[in-house]
Amino acid sequence: MKARSIATSYRALSVLSVALLWGLYALNGGLEAFFLSSWHARLKEDIPLSTNYTGIFLIDFPVTLLVTFFYFVTDGSDEGLQLLAFEGYATLQSTFVWLYAEMARPGSHKPWVVAV
């Protein structure tokens, strides 16, 4: 029963975090600006954005959205934002490595969260 309540809590927190991130992003106009900058191939007046990676729109537009979303993390303009992204990635990476190692480990003496 513990594992079921933890899984339910995790799912509820996931839905809440997505709603808070993208909901607030949509309410303050960021989401619209995000899509429009990808559509018009410009982040600002002086920052052009490439929109042709493969020549297939269904692939190119999502790639352009990703580039738009992560541009300011990767362009070197804000060191703090780069460190935040690096720490977040490092934390998630080590967590997934631990999770996969525990799941692959034979036997029944696994942590109960992984064993479920």
Taking only the tens place, the pLDDT of each residue in 3-20 is 677 778 888 998 999 999
Grouping H, G, I as helix, E, B as strand and the rest as coil, residue 70 is helix
b/e per residue 80-96 (b: at least 16 CB within 10 A): eeeeeeeeeeeeeeeee
100 in a structural domain: yes
44 in a structural domain: no
pLDDT at position 45, please? 79
Grouping H, G, I as helix, E, B as strand and the rest as coil, residue 77 is coil
> Radius of gyration of the chain from Cα atoms?
20
89 in a structural domain: yes
Grouping H, G, I as helix, E, B as strand and the rest as coil, residue 106 is coil
48 in a structural domain: no
Q: Considering the entire predicted model, what is its pTM? A: 0.61
33 in a structural domain: no
60 in a structural domain: no
43 in a structural domain: no
Range of the domain at 114: 78-116
30 in a structural domain: no
Separation CA 48–CA 31 (nearest Å)? 19
Q: How many domains does the chain have?
A: 1
pLDDT, one tens digit per residue, over 61-83 is 999 988 888 888 888 788 888 88
